[in-house]
Structure 1
């Protein structure tokens, strides 16, 4: 789940859940308190609306005492002059959070409370016969009084007017209603705290766990420890970040391994070049000392010594050139010069050069061209020539036959031309064949002076062919010979639209 989705859910949760839970708990508490009020005060049909209205609640609470007082007066108005009787009625009213007040004529004859605020109530008492004064819902007296009164007018036997008042103080809410509001506030606070805690833990687990994992990963990477794995736990932004960090770790590890391999290959190259340079240098030094010491005391010996020095210097030059080319290949700085080349003309010239070179080395050479004259390729003539010569030189290096043979074939294979260079040398073992184009790989581990080489000749060939968009491979049989193949894509002219 994405972090944005988590935040939306968190917002909705922290908004809706408290509302739903508070409403549910409020309904439960209201029902409980309504039941408690009805049971405690003997009222019926109490509703949420009446519960939220203190005047309605207090009016309902004194409904039953009002009816009882009304009945007493109806039976015997003189009871309103009996202090003992009035005290009993007032005791019942006290349980309802109210008190009794009796008026005879213009005089208050009974007050059921010792509160000092009764003077404000007495001042605002309604007159006899005022409209709705005896309504059972009562009459609200504002100002300093702040009470709800229920008035019952009557006449004593003497004919004097009298009134009984049930007075309920509106400044104080009955305990059950007050308790309800306190409970509702507590419920809201608890629900908010619980919801916030649950959401906090949910978001914490969803964010901090992957962050902790990435922190450990970053520390390991900083310390150079790349042998671990970061598994994303979710498909969100942090999961994607874990995946990206894992990709970075893999690349860093691959880069570190490549650097180790590169350093190893460089050391091997230096070792190989040093070894291969040592042989011609030793020979040059020896023959030069022979000349200096006068050993070459005849023109024939002098000529032999000078030619040997020259040949060994050429071997050194070849090794240095190979090393320079390898450096350019490794940094992709080979200066290619691509041109449209006629296959027949190019490989015919190449075959003539090879024929002369191999004839001087007593190697039989065969050239076979099966390509139509109009076939062309886009290639760097110098680099393709280097490919052919490197393959031929590699064949000569490992030639073990008394009558060496090298054949060059050029074939048309659909969209490509295929060049084959076949020799009758000692061949390559099946286990070595897949690795012959790797840098520094040598099937002959002995590195004797007759074969020498840096071990990068065929890797150079592969790089050049692949830079031409081609492919190179080999087949071989031990003690029979090896055939090298490489293909180049044909050049196809695109006709102009008329």
Structure 2
């Protein structure tokens, strides 16, 4: 679930749940308080709606006392002058949050509460018979009185007019109603707190758990520890961030491993070059000392010594050139000069140079060209020649037969021309064949081998061919020989319409 969706759900939940729970709580608490009020004040028919109207609630509380007072005044008006009887009745009213006032003609003869409290009401009491139609429901007195009065008119035994008033203070709610509203306030607060807490926990768990994992991952990356896996547990924005962080970790790990490999290869290169340079340098030094010491005392010896020194210097030059080219390969700075080349003309020239070189080394050379004269390729002539020479030199290096043989075949294979260089050397073991194009890989483990070489010749070949948009591979059988293959894409002329 996306974080935006979670926040939208949280927003709606924060609105809807409190509303639903508040309505439910109002109903439950309302019913409970209604039951308590009806039981305490001996009334019935109270509703939750009446809680919001204190006058209505107070009116219901004094319904029964009102009817009792009307009955007493009608049947036994003498009691309306009996202080003891009036006091007993007033005590019942006090339980209903009300008190009694009795008037005879224009004089108040009984007050069931403090005069200070009653004075505000006495000044607004209706005259005899004035509230005859509203006495049961009561009359609301505003101003400072803030009271609900119910009036019972009667005649005393001497015939004088009298009025009895049940006075209910409506400025304050009854405790049960007040308790109901207090409970409602606390209930709403609790509902809001619980809802917010649950939503915060839900969102916190959804956010902080992946954030915690990412924080640990970031610390590991900071400390250089990349050997871990950061799994995304969701499909939201944080899950996407986890996946991005995991990809970054993988890339950093790959870069770190590549750097370690690069450093190891550099060290190996330095070691290989140092060893391979040491051999010709030692030979040059030895033959030079022989000349200086007069060992080469005949013209023939002198010429042989000088020729050896020259050949060893050429070996050093080749190694240095390979090292320079290797550096250019690593920095993608090999200078290419692509041109349209005729396949037959180009390979005829290459063969001419190769045949002279191989003949001098007593190696039989065969050339077979199966390509039509019109076929062309786009290539760097110098770099392709380097490819051929590197492959041939590699074959010569591992040639173990008394009579060496190398064949060069050029074939047309559809959109490509395929070049094959076959030798009858000692071959390559199956376990070594997949690695021969790797940098510094040598099938001879011992550096004391007379084969020498830096181990980057075939890796240079692979790089050049790939830069030409082709590919290179090899097949081999031990003690039989090896065949190197590479392909170059043909040049296709675009017809002019």
TM-score (norm 2): 0.97
Give 1:236's aligned residue.
236
For residues 219 and 151 of structure 2, the distance between their equivalents in structure 1, rounded to whole angstroms, comes to 85
For residues 113 and 133 of structure 1, the distance between their equivalents in structure 2, rounded to whole angstroms, comes to 26
> Is contact 1:287–1:309 with CA below 8 Å preserved after alignment?
yes
Give 2:170's aligned residue.
170
> Is contact 1:133–1:150 with CA below 8 Å preserved after alignment?
no
Cα distance, 1:409 vs. partner?
Answer: 0.7
For residues 183 and 89 of structure 1, the distance between their equivalents in structure 2, rounded to whole angstroms, comes to 33
Q: Secondary structure at the match of 1:461?
A: helix
Cα distance, 1:131 vs. partner?
Answer: 4.9
Q: Which stretch shows the higher mean deviation, 200-209 or 22-31? A: 200-209
For residues 49 and 224 of structure 1, the distance between their equivalents in structure 2, rounded to whole angstroms, comes to 70
- What aligned pairs does 1:221-260 form with structure 2 within 5 A after superposition? 221-260=221-260
Give 1:141's aligned residue.
141
Cα distance, 1:98 vs. partner?
Answer: 0.7
For residues 444 and 333 of structure 2, the distance between their equivalents in structure 1, rounded to whole angstroms, comes to 30
Cα distance, 1:25 vs. partner?
Answer: 0.7
Give 1:67's aligned residue.
67
- What aligned pairs does 1:382-397 form with structure 2 within 5 A after superposition? 382-397=382-397
For residues 121 and 448 of structure 2, the distance between their equivalents in structure 1, rounded to whole angstroms, comes to 128
Q: Which stretch shows the higher mean deviation, 16-25 or 151-160? A: 151-160
Give 2:119's aligned residue.
119
> Is contact 1:133–1:139 with CA below 8 Å preserved after alignment?
no
- What aligned pairs does 1:94-493 form with structure 2 within 5 A after superposition? 94-114=94-114, 116-131=116-131, 134-448=134-448, 450-493=450-493
Q: CA-to-partner distance for each residue in 1:372-402, whole Å, 9 max, x for gaps?
A: 2222222111111111110000001000111
Cα distance, 1:449 vs. partner?
Answer: 5.3
Cα distance, 1:56 vs. partner?
Answer: 0.5
Alpha carbons of structure 1 residues 447 and 41: separation in structure 2 relative to 1, 3 Å:
same
Q: CA-to-partner distance for each residue in 1:455-476, whole Å, 9 max, x for gaps?
A: 0000100111111111111001
> Is contact 1:54–1:170 with CA below 8 Å preserved after alignment?
yes
Q: CA-to-partner distance for each residue in 1:56-80, whole Å, 9 max, x for gaps?
A: 0001111111122222223233332
For residues 29 and 157 of structure 1, the distance between their equivalents in structure 2, rounded to whole angstroms, comes to 49
> Is contact 1:155–1:161 with CA below 8 Å preserved after alignment?
yes
Cα distance, 1:448 vs. partner?
Answer: 3.9
Cα distance, 1:152 vs. partner?
Answer: 1.5
- The answer as to 2:47 corresponding to 1:56 is no
Q: CA-to-partner distance for each residue in 1:175-210, whole Å, 9 max, x for gaps?
A: 110000110011011112212222222222222222
Unaligned runs of 5+ in 2: none
For residues 258 and 115 of structure 1, the distance between their equivalents in structure 2, rounded to whole angstroms, comes to 101
Cα distance, 1:443 vs. partner?
Answer: 0.7
Q: Secondary structure at the match of 1:38?
A: helix
Q: Secondary structure at the match of 1:117?
A: helix
> Is contact 2:363–2:405 with CA below 8 Å preserved after alignment?
yes
Q: Which stretch shows the higher mean deviation, 54-63 or 355-364? A: 355-364
For residues 260 and 132 of structure 1, the distance between their equivalents in structure 2, rounded to whole angstroms, comes to 107
Alpha carbons of structure 1 residues 132 and 330: separation in structure 2 relative to 1, 3 Å:
farther
Q: CA-to-partner distance for each residue in 1:65-101, whole Å, 9 max, x for gaps?
A: 1122222223233332222322232122111111111
Give 1:5's aligned residue.
5
Unaligned runs of 5+ in 1: none
For residues 116 and 222 of structure 1, the distance between their equivalents in structure 2, rounded to whole angstroms, comes to 82
Q: Secondary structure at the match of 2:495?
A: coil
For residues 4 and 408 of structure 1, the distance between their equivalents in structure 2, rounded to whole angstroms, comes to 67
For residues 432 and 384 of structure 2, the distance between their equivalents in structure 1, rounded to whole angstroms, comes to 25
> Is contact 2:131–2:151 with CA below 8 Å preserved after alignment?
no
Alignment RMSD (CA, Å): 1.5
For residues 220 and 409 of structure 1, the distance between their equivalents in structure 2, rounded to whole angstroms, comes to 56
Q: Which stretch shows the higher mean deviation, 160-169 or 128-137? A: 128-137
> Is contact 1:279–1:449 with CA below 8 Å preserved after alignment?
no
Cα distance, 1:430 vs. partner?
Answer: 0.8
For residues 400 and 461 of structure 1, the distance between their equivalents in structure 2, rounded to whole angstroms, comes to 23
Q: CA-to-partner distance for each residue in 1:148-185, whole Å, 9 max, x for gaps?
A: 00112222233211111110011221111000011001
Q: CA-to-partner distance for each residue in 1:228-279, whole Å, 9 max, x for gaps?
A: 2222232222222222222222222222221111111111111111111111
Give 2:92's aligned residue.
92
- The answer as to 2:65 corresponding to 1:47 is no
Q: Which stretch shows the higher mean deviation, 280-289 or 232-241? A: 232-241
For residues 169 and 70 of structure 1, the distance between their equivalents in structure 2, rounded to whole angstroms, comes to 20
